[in-house]
Amino acid sequence: MNLLMCPVCRQSLNLIANSWHCEKGHHYDVAKQGYVNLHVVQHKHSKTPGDTAESVLARREFLQTDAYQPLQLAVVELLQQLKPKAVLDIGCGEGYYTNAMQAHTQDCIGVDIAKAAVQRAAKLNSRVTWVVGTGATLPVQDHSIDVCSSLFSPIPQDEIIRVLRDDGHLIVVTPAPRHLYALREALFEQVNLHEPQKFVQQLDAQFELKQQQVVETQMVLDQHALKNLIAMTPYAYKANPERRMALEQEQQFLATAAFQIYVFQKRKKPSI
């Protein structure tokens, strides 16, 4: 199935040879790495939006250690329950979770605004449709997706409603209250608990909460993994530089990752 949408005229895109075409004549070539760039100039707010190449590399190296595998397995288990035909992973990054999702659906699309991330993701799994695109205009056709996922990523609510089928689901993963608490204590003078429940309140008008769970995993991080974990998060530029430098001297660090997972279902429109 061709699920992609032209970001200029919003017509459906069809893959012809090595290029995506719409009926209005717009076309987008598949890059040699295997992704398509549907983030058109008129939608850009900066020259290189999204995560930096350094952050993407740090995330790739950290996730390759499978430190976050319990989260990956939990998301796969949800897909096994929901049995979707089409999945859209919003903010797919370098593809660690999207790659695992692909085996549990017929059509899997990973979209991210960071070109550097999608370039790396495209090397993981050629059966995923990898797209550089923006959540402000998801490059996917109306009512074509069974499950949207947003893992530590923005939640473009109106766009998700547009692309989801009437009984579609949204999987949201966000930090649980004490996610990386010890790490944050080392980096910041004051540490507040995360507030995942705010997403439930924000989404309540258009989505019904169906499931929730917290997945925790303890990690013993060596110095290299610790540096990568800091570099792949906003802590890299928010933390006190002296505290960060001192922490990165540690040869070993014990941290607990705590992931809050929500499964929402699109609310039915009231009949008139």
Residue owning tokens 């035909």 = 85
pLDDT value, residue 1: 62
pLDDT at residue 47 tops 60 = no
43 pLDDT tier (thresholds 50, 70, 90): very low
pLDDT per residue over 224-240, tens digit each? 999 999 999 989 889 98
The Cα 127–Cα 54 span in angstroms is 26
Contact 140, 88 (CB under 8 A): yes
Put simply, whether the predicted model's pTM sits higher than 0.75 gets the answer yes
**CATH number of domain containing 89:** 3.40.50.150
Within 10 angstroms of residue 186's Cβ, the number of other Cβ atoms is 22
Question: Looking at the domain assignment, is residue 8 inside a domain?
Answer: no
Domain with 259 in it: 46-266
- Residue 95 marked as a ligand binder: yes
Compute the half-sphere exposure of residue 183: CA atoms within 13 Å on the CB side of its CA: 28
pLDDT value, residue 48: 55
Question: Looking at the domain assignment, is residue 22 inside a domain?
Answer: no
Question: Looking at the domain assignment, is residue 2 inside a domain?
Answer: no
pLDDT per residue over 181-208, tens digit each? 999 999 999 999 999 999 999 999 999 9
51 pLDDT tier (thresholds 50, 70, 90): confident
3-state SS, 106-167, equals CEEEEEECCHHHHHHHCCCCCCCEEEECECCECCECCCCEEEEEEECCCCCHHHHHHHEEEE
Beta strands 145-151 and 164-175, pairing class: parallel
The Cα 88–Cα 140 span in angstroms is 9
pLDDT at residue 49 tops 90 = no
- Residue 108 marked as a ligand binder: no
- Residue 143 marked as a ligand binder: no
Question: Looking at the domain assignment, is residue 6 inside a domain?
Answer: no
pLDDT per residue over 98-156, tens digit each? 999 999 999 999 999 999 999 999 999 999 999 999 999 999 999 999 999 999 999 99
pLDDT value, residue 271: 60
* 45 compared with 174, residue with greater pLDDT: 174
Cα angle 162, 92, 96; round to 5:
145
The Cα 193–Cα 206 span in angstroms is 27
- Residue 133 marked as a ligand binder: no
Question: Looking at the domain assignment, is residue 182 inside a domain?
Answer: yes
pLDDT value, residue 44: 46
180 pLDDT tier (thresholds 50, 70, 90): very high
pLDDT per residue over 156-172, tens digit each? 999 999 999 999 999 99
Average pLDDT over residues 51-66: 92
Residue type, 65: T
53 pLDDT tier (thresholds 50, 70, 90): confident
- Residue 96 marked as a ligand binder: no
pLDDT value, residue 52: 86
Question: Looking at the domain assignment, is residue 23 inside a domain?
Answer: no
Question: Looking at the domain assignment, is residue 25 inside a domain?
Answer: no
Compute the half-sphere exposure of residue 115: CA atoms within 13 Å on the CB side of its CA: 12
pLDDT at residue 85 tops 60 = yes
pLDDT, averaged across the chain: 93
The Cα 156–Cα 135 span in angstroms is 6
- Residue 195 marked as a ligand binder: no
Report the domain count for the chain.
Answer: 1
Question: Looking at the domain assignment, is residue 30 inside a domain?
Answer: no
Sheet containing 129-132: give its strands across. Answer: 35-37, 129-132, 107-112, 86-90, 145-151, 164-175, 252-266, 207-222
